Amino acid sequence: MTNKLYVKAPTDMSIGRIRIIGQGNQVGEWLATPTKATSQFDVPAGPYAASIEPLGQLARNFAFIVREGETTEVQIPTLRQLAAGGEVFLNSNWNANLNLDNFPTTVIGGADESETNRPSRWLSIAISQDTLPGRIGGWRPYSSSPQPVLTISGDLVEIAVERPHPALHREHSRLRLECAVSGLRNERLMLPLFRGGTKVVIRSNPTSSDVIVIVFPVDMRSRALVQALYAGSVAETQQVALEQLEYLGNPQLDLDEPDPWMEIANALVLLRFPELERNLSEEEVGLLVARSDWIPDAHAIWARHQIDTASEADEQAAGVRALNAIAKCRQLGMPYFAYTAQIVSDILNALSKPFEESPLSVAAKAELNKWQLRIPAQKNAGAIFSWLVTGSKTQPSIGRIDERFSKILFRGRLDPGRFWVQNATGKTPKSGKFTSSPEEVPLYSDDGVLIPTSDHAGDVILKTEPVTRLRQDPEALSLQIMEQNDPHKGRWGGVASKDGYLLSAEFVPTTGTRSWVTVVLSVEADPDLISSSYDEPVEFFLHPTFHPDRVRTVFRGYKARLELGCYGGFTVGAWLPGPGIELELDLSELKDAPHIIKNF
């Protein structure tokens, strides 16, 4: 006898293959996309596992039971929950019963003891905006609104970036992200501003003190297409491409403004997969360049179209047109998409024939040399193009970021499989001023207005609260600062426990150094308050010497954690936006606090 089984894909997976396995055999599978998130199977009663294979990522497993004579509905947990491990299954409320003994779960991102003994490195993440688009020397610290939202969760740092308001302006739309790992490398990428927002995921490598960067749209439908562009097969790409074209062709779809980066992604998909049998017309390519002439990728697509559609008689002239378009692409700056860089490379290598000295071949060789000089080392951040920066006059030291040109979003330590926030000097003193000179680092409010840091007499004005703002603020930030050197003291209610939530700190001695100590901040929830949540946010408010001094993380099970590198005690504020709870903890007043926390 068979039973009805309905399986729904993880809500945070845009595209991936899901295989249903039972009694040693695969009983069914389907390609889950935003419009095909659920599938039905007829199966005998018994234990089963779903193997979830997100496009371009490692597979994860989820176990459940199908009972005789019952219809079973299974909502597979989110990818975040699946990556976290066993605790989620024991405490979840899924419609299917679980049997963990039969099907072990896959844990992503862990590091064994030998790996954690590897030396840690400094990690800095920064964002810049181009104030002189199309010209050299316009990169400055990001000062538009809204500010990026940064979340730290275990081995992940996530940065959510929305389009600048009120409209998409050229000077605000060109953003650049940079990750600097001390003594190792600086990686940069142009940050596309997809409609609905852009997410940057930075994962700590589980086997080394390094990071892996992935960039994709927040919107699930757009994300599926972008993922298919760099990791998909023809069949996978065909499915999401058809869904995307159907979505864009909906007459009821009212889009206030075009999304140039998704238009480019659509064009790149059609170029990469000619098996889709959907060729770009001259009119479509011309319209793309007309609307997005300031984006380098548009000119590379136009160059490829000239080569692909040229007749035999027009081949030489098409090559010249393509070469001019690629030169325009280079002059505008680095491309956004990795496949754009491949298109440029393919065209230049094809035109610069090694044993031919025609004017076109010579010009193509010269252009190829210019590209190779500008991009000495290339990488990919998912479908997005990124490159490694070598030492130069403007980048004198690998692993450091010049704050004259970039706004620091994160600065801290990096270990295999984990991040923690730490001040660059390793010190967070309660005594002494914590101001910064206005000549060193310009400060901006959330609406892009420069914040003055000195009065008319030249005296330094203390920062009274963190500059980086999110869309919503806790009430504590509106209260007066009572202690300038410990700005959160007394502003968060003065208690570490309230309504079933507890803020605590654990001190972990750091091997090989006495200059700082690892502090693990935790907010723990009563199990009756949340159902093993993996998306309920918690925000920690730290001493202003940290970058960032306002850090967002999420619950993993019933606990949200954040690791800090500290020297000196200070008061921590914690805010849970959902229930509106504020908690406060003075690290220096804890009984088990070490000497460098209590007395400095």
pLDDT in tens, 173-192: 789 999 999 888 889 999 99
CB atoms near residue 20 (< 10 Å): 22
Secondary structure of residue 471 in the 3-state scheme: coil
Q: Is the pLDDT of residue 17 over 60?
A: yes
Give me the amino acid identity at 325.
A
pLDDT surpasses 90 at 533 = no
559 versus 248: the higher-pLDDT residue is 559
Residue with tokens 């193009």: 385
| Closest residue by Cα to residue 600 from 486, 494, 438 | 486
First-last CA distance in the chain? 71
Q: Lowest mean pLDDT of 91-100, 295-304, 316-325, name the range.
A: 91-100
CA distance 465 to 474: 12
pLDDT score of 496 more than 90? yes
Confidence (pLDDT) at 449 = 32
* pLDDT at residue number 275: 84
Q: What is the pLDDT of residue 584?
A: 96
Lowest mean pLDDT among 205-209, 432-436, 468-472, 582-586: 432-436
pLDDT at 513 over 50: yes
- What pLDDT shows up at residue 310? 92
* The two domains 3-91 and 428-598 share their CATH topology (first three levels equal): yes
Task: For residue 200, count CB atoms less than 10 angstroms from its CB and return exposed for 0-12, middle for 13-18, buried for 19 or more.
Answer: buried
Mean per-residue pLDDT, 98-120:
39
CB 445 within 8 A of CB 467: yes
The confidence band for 391, taking pLDDT boundaries of 50, 70 and 90, is: low
pLDDT at position 287 over 50: yes
298 backbone φψ class: left, alpha, beta (φ>0; ψ -120 to 50) = alpha
Q: Give pLDDT tens digits for 331-342.
A: 988 899 999 999
| Nearest residue to 211 via CA among 56, 55, 381, 389 | 381
Q: Which residue has the higher pLDDT, 529 or 446?
A: 529
For the ranges 123-132, 145-154, 464-473, the maximum mean pLDDT occurs at 123-132
| Domain 3-91, CATH number (from 2.60.40.1120, 3.40.50.970, 3.90.1170.50, 3.90.1300.10) | 2.60.40.1120
Residue 34 has what pLDDT? 85
With a cut of 70, say whether residue 364 has pLDDT above it: yes
**Closest to 82 measured CA to CA, from 113, 114, 112, 104:** 104
3-state percent helix, strand, coil for the chain, nearest multiple of 5: 25, 30, 45
- Residue 373 in tokens: 């000089």
Return the higher-pLDDT residue of 40 and 511. 40
Question: Which whole number is the average pLDDT over 228-251?
Answer: 73
pLDDT value of residue 326: 96
As given in the structure block, the two tokens for residue 52 are: 């979830």
In the prediction, which pLDDT does 571 show? 95
Q: Structural domain boundaries of the chain?
A: 3-91, 115-218+381-411, 428-598
**Which of 23-37, 64-78, 93-107, 357-371 has the least mean pLDDT?**
93-107
Within 8 A by CB and 6+ apart from 14, the residues are 33, 34, 55, 216, 220, 221, 223, 224, 227
| Selection from 204-218, 281-295, 449-463, 552-566 with the highest mean pLDDT | 281-295
Residue 460's pLDDT is what? 35
Closest CA to 96 of 229, 224, 3, 230: 3
Q: Are 484 and 494 in contact (CB under 8 A)?
A: no
Instruction: Decide if pLDDT at 105 tops 60.
Output: no
Q: Average pLDDT of the chain?
A: 79
More confident residue, 583 or 100: 583
Predicted pLDDT at 77? 87
Q: Classify residue 276 by its DSSP letter.
A: G
Q: Identify the pLDDT of residue 228.
A: 86
Least confident of 30-34, 352-356, 425-429: 425-429
**pLDDT tens digit string along 377-389?**
777 888 999 988 8
Residue 76, φ and ψ in degrees, nearest 5: -65, 135
433 by Cβ neighbours in 10 Å (0-12 / 13-18 / 19+) ranks as exposed
Report for 42-46, 89-93, 507-511: range of highest mean pLDDT: 42-46
Residue 361 in this model has a pLDDT that exceeds 50: yes
Query: For residues 192 and 215, is the Cβ–Cβ distance under 8 A?
Result: yes
Q: Is the pLDDT of residue 346 over 90?
A: yes
% of residues, the chain, pLDDT over 90: 38
Q: Kindly tell me if the per-residue pLDDT of 160 is higher than 80.
A: yes
pTM check: above 0.75: yes
- Which comes out higher in pLDDT, residue 392 or 416? 416
CATH class name, domain 428-598? mainly beta
> Residue 568: what pLDDT?
85
List the one residue out of 364, 276, 356, 357 whose CA is nearest residue 319.
Answer: 364
pLDDT, position 75: 92
Q: Average pLDDT, stretch 239-251?
A: 66
Q: Which two tokens stand for residue 495?
A: 């208690």
